[in-house]
Amino acid sequence: MKPLDHFETCFPLLEDHAHTYLNPDELKNFQSFSGKEVARQLKNLLEKPLAEFTSVNEAYFRARWAELLRLLHPGEDLVLLEIASGDADMIPQAMARTHPKGLYITANMNKALNDSLSRKTESLALKMNIIEDDAVRIADYTGKGTVDVIAFQHAVNDVIQSILCDKAGIDTVHAEWMELLPRMIELVKQESSRNTLAAQVKEPFLELMRALLGTLRSGGYVAMNHYLFQLDLDWGYPPDVFEHMIPMTREWLRELKGCREFTLDGFDSQWWIILQKIESEPSY
């Protein structure tokens, strides 16, 4: 696989990032690793599908999102909407450090994961709003043009899987996500082997994106990232689909009006898409 980032650039910064982005217990865990062990974990994280979950990952990913959020929105008053966060707290953790006066909103359907996210973030000094609904209905919750940044943190695959489940009549709201994962992978595998994944998913995905662009302010950004999990691959996720999630999505997004891709040095196009909402053309 293409590395997520250059090890030589990231390694010298990681200790500082750990101090900035980890809480005291996490930092203690980070400091219990030797330098050689931190280097080993970081190299694996960047160059192989993710198989270990430690404070090294947290320091790296939180710092990455923090860097991006500062670049996209240098002001203090960031309103960020995350899509399909599950109980992953990388972005609220980053935002509590970069934009503590901001507002974090997530649209996340699964009940159990929302409960877990609330517990994980209860001590953060950050205003949070968890919307327990399909993000396609975002207009029912947020005003037009009120959001500065929309983030898909390793969430394109989750949205795609939910669309396929919805079509197959599988409830993803009240279920344990990990228990459903093998069936989701089976659905992706089936559509991909029949070459029908885009036919099934592209239009609902673009419908979601159109709804999201409505809530984004003009000049605001959508940022999507992806990386590989070894577990999904072991459970049969088609490797080509999993690895090329971002390039596949980029192809679909070419049909989306009202935004353009925005390239940023250091955010590899294999693993990141950044879109900027453009002023709509005046109608005469």
Ligand X SMILES: C[S@@+](CC[C@H](N)C(=O)[O-])C[C@H]1O[C@@H](n2cnc3c(N)ncnc32)[C@H](O)[C@@H]1O
Which residues in this chain contact ligand X in the complex, by CB under 6 A? 84-86, 88, 107-110, 113, 134-136, 153-155, 158-159, 162, 172, 177, 208
Give the nearer residue to ligand X in terms of CB position, either 39 or 189: 189
> What is the rounded distance in angstroms from the CA atom of residue 101 to the CA atom of residue 77?
6
Q: Rounded to 5 degrees, what angle do the CA atoms 76, 246, 269 make? A: 70
DSSP 154-190: S-HHHHHHHHHHHHHT---SSS-HHHHHHHHHHHHHH
Q: How far is the CB of 111 from ligand X (least distance, A)?
A: 8
Give the nearer residue to ligand X in terms of CB position, either 92 or 238: 92
Q: What is the largest CA-CA distance in the chain?
A: 65
Report the SS3 class of residue 218. Answer: strand
Q: Which residues pair with 274 in a beta bridge?
A: 223
Q: How many CA atoms lie within 13 A of 63 on its CB side?
A: 20
Give the nearer residue to ligand X in terms of CB position, either 63 or 208: 208
Q: How far is the CB of 185 from ligand X (least distance, A)?
A: 12
Q: Which residue is nearest to ligand X (CB)?
A: 86
> What is the rounded distance in angstroms from the CA atom of residue 25 to the CA atom of residue 46?
24
Q: How far is the CB of 84 from ligand X (least distance, A)?
A: 3
> What is the rounded distance in angstroms from the CA atom of residue 151 to the CA atom of residue 65?
10
Q: How far is the CB of 50 from ligand X (least distance, A)?
A: 10
> What is the rounded distance in angstroms from the CA atom of residue 240 to the CA atom of residue 260?
26
Q: How far is the CB of 44 from ligand X (least distance, A)?
A: 18
Give the nearer residue to ligand X in terms of CB position, either 101 or 167: 167
Handedness of CA 45, 49, 51, 53 (dihedral sign): positive
Give the nearer residue to ligand X in terms of CB position, either 4 or 281: 4
Give the nearer residue to ligand X in terms of CB position, either 113 or 201: 113
Which residue, 117, 153, 159, 154, is CA-closest to 138? 159
Q: How far is the CB of 142 from ligand X (least distance, A)?
A: 13
> What is the rounded distance in angstroms from the CA atom of residue 202 to the CA atom of residue 110?
22
Q: How far is the CB of 138 from ligand X (least distance, A)?
A: 9
Give the nearer residue to ligand X in terms of CB position, either 39 or 170: 170
